[in-house]
Structures are given as structure tokens and as C-alpha cells.
Amino acid sequence: MDMNPPPTLSLCSSESLSSSSSTASSEEANYKTVSSDHLSTMFGNKLKTAAGSHKSMIVQAARKGQKELNDKFPRIRLAQLPTPLEFCPRLSEALGGVEIYVKRDDCTGLATGGNKARKLEWLMAEAMQQGAEYIMTQGATQSNHARQTAAACAKLGKKCHILLEDRTGSKDVNYNENGNVLLDDLFGATREKRSGGLDMNAELEAVAEKYRKEYGSKVYTIVGGGSNPTGALGYVNCVYELVQQFDEMNLDVDYICHATGSAGTQAGLVTGLKAVGSDIALMGFGVRAPKEKQEENVFNLAKRTAEKIAKPGIVERSDVVADCSYVGEGYGIPAESTIEAIRMFAELEGLLLDPVYSAKGAAGLIDYCRRGIFKKGQKIVFLHTGGNAALHGYINSFK
């Protein structure tokens, strides 16, 4: 249910399938006399046909899923989609011949881009459907989600109120007033600060209830990161988009990897992959919680997301994998590997990462390549979640 007319999407056609011209009976009659090369070609063609048929089924499932999402759930077009899928030749060479592609969700267009635009298409549509006047959300001081929510509210004429949590304890002026914080203000959002360690979603609901009672406002609250089943639809849809891009580019992808924090992006991705029957491995590189907690958060949200799209039970616990070895000292605090990743992507490919999310995910990607977990010749898609506006809050990290 698009609340705006949908743009024309350029969808690839499924690859033509070849079939063996030989019948089973003739193969059985001649198997003793054919050469080993012929046998290899014959059965190799059958395997290719089977693989091609499976890929075609995945592409068809993606197209069908995309239509079902748009028919069933309200959506407002806020992002520029599909985002590009780019090969990174210099980065690939520097990392030993692992073939690295970047899914450019830093190019979604809303307020400098980022992954939250995909989630907000569904969240803001739900808010509009409910007649909300105020949109409230929460995040850390340099929250990309808060920035894109404020921009979406400005675009749609809604009031925006944000709770910002001090998770780092930084007193740096740039961190507290520049970057995403400056943009929050420019988009007209009002904001409150909270000390670190609070239950921020509970704080959010308390403020929303105050606005409802004292001002009679219709308030729609968005959990941190937009990470609920409605927001996760954005990354179910991203899988449907990716599958069609893989088909168009004739890519057999081995892994998709990305930064994982509030769980919505990874939950949507794993749900989408299971929904289309893809066996592409998914790896989330954590930015905050320990591995067990992160995986449990993602799995719980993925289960609810699968139920929302009427495919309960498709995600198993073993489908959710996170590596939280690249967090460093804590959330929002760049490690040496974080800064190295930012410089490497910038110097080799002209791509800007952010110090909180995407660079910690990229640090994991770099290390996996160096350690041979991702191997030469394998095709790895790194989902760039955006956030480069936060760089302006971290000037001292690069001195």
C-alpha cells in the first residue's frame, strides 16, 4: 500500500534455463561408450541447469515478496531506491583478492543517506495512518536514526522530539553539538538529554505519555534504531532488491556482512533471505552488545518480523550470527581498527564510513579477509549503512 505513487523499478529478467536434450534412456544406453570429458560436460550442464533453476526461483520469490509487502503494508517513499551495488577493485586487491562489493545504503538520499531511511518508509507511513502529530524517538548523542527521523518529519510536516542518551561520556564540543546533533536542530527537531545506562525505550514512552496527557497530542513513538517488525520490513525489502541486482549482475554471492546494533537491519535481512530461500551466509559485526545478547536480540526480532509477513518459523536460531570482536572500548568509541577502516575505504575507494556503525562493520570485514575467513575469489557484499555525518562529531579521533 504505497502512500505515494511508486517509481518505476528496473528489475532484471530471470536467466534463461537450458535443459539437456538427451533422454534418460539414451544416457543409460550409451554411458559405457561416452568419454569422461563428455560425462563431465553432460552432468556439469545438468548441475548448471539445476542451479539456474534454483536462482530463478529465488528471483521470482523476491519479486513476489516485494509486491506482497507493498500491497499489504502502508509505505511512504523516502529513500532513493534501489541503491547502487558497486564492485571495489582497489579494496579487493588490498585485501588479497577477496571480491568486495558495497551495497550503497549510504546513498538512500534522506538527510545524507543511511539505512534508517528504509525503515522509516514503513514506520512513518504507519504513523501517518494513525494520524500522529508528534513523532518521538531515541538514540545515542550522534544517532543516525534520530537525524533521519527528524528529516523525515520535516519532509512530511510532522513535529519531531528526540531523546539523546549519553553513552560515551564525551565532553567534546564537536561530539555534543556537531555532526548529527547539528542536523537534528536544522531539521527542526526538539530534544532532551539522558544519562547513559537508562532503559531508553521506557524513557521514550514516559515522555510520550506526558505529551498525550498534558497537551492532548497524538504521539507515535519509534523505538531506538527503528528496530521493530514494522521498521525491519525495510530490510526484508532490501533483500528482495539485492536478489534482483545479483541476478542482473550475474553474481553468486558468498556472504553479506554489515554492522549490527539495534538489530533491525540484521533481523530484516535474515528474514528476507529465508523468505526467498537463499543460502547466502549473513554476518553481522556488532557495535555494542556482546555476541550472545546481540544474536538473541536479532533472532527475537526476526521471529516477529517473519510473523508480520505471514511466514512464521522461517528463521532458526542458527541463522543468526554476529561477531562482536570489533566493538573496542564500547559503543560510539572508535578503536584503532575503526579508524583504519575509515581511512582504508576513503583512500582506496572514496567511500566515507562512520565511526559508530559502518566502520566497525568494515573493521570486521577487513580482519576476516586478512585472516582468510573470507577467501580469495569469494564474493562478499558489505552493506554500507551510512552515517558519515557523524564524522564531524569525531574530529579529534583523526588527529
Give me the active site residues, please: 143
The answer to whether residues 381 and 110 touch, using CB atoms and an 8 Å cutoff, is: no
Give me the residues paired with residue 134 across strands: 159, 219
> What percent of the chain is helix, strand and coil (3-state, nearest 5)?
50, 15, 35
Handedness of CA 71, 77, 78, 79 (dihedral sign): positive
* Host H or E run for residue 338: helix 336-349
> What's the one-letter identity of residue 71?
D
C-alpha grid cell, residue 180: 548529527
The answer to whether residues 341 and 362 touch, using CB atoms and an 8 Å cutoff, is: yes
> What's the one-letter identity of residue 22?
S
Nearest C-alpha neighbor of 392 from the set 147, 166, 88, 107: 147
CA 325 to chain centre: 19
> Strand pairing of 190-195 and 281-286?
unpaired
Please identify which residue in the block is written with the cell numbers 529513500: 79
Integer CA distances (angstroms), 311 to 62, 74, 347, in order: 14, 19, 43
- Burial (0-12, 13-18, 19+ Cβ within 10 Å), 164: buried
CA 336 to chain centre: 24
DSSP category for residue 240: H
CA distance 54 to 63: 15
Contacts of 5 (CB under 8 A, 6+ apart): none
> What's the one-letter identity of residue 358?
S
Please identify which residue in the block is written with the cell numbers 563428455: 38
DSSP category for residue 249: H
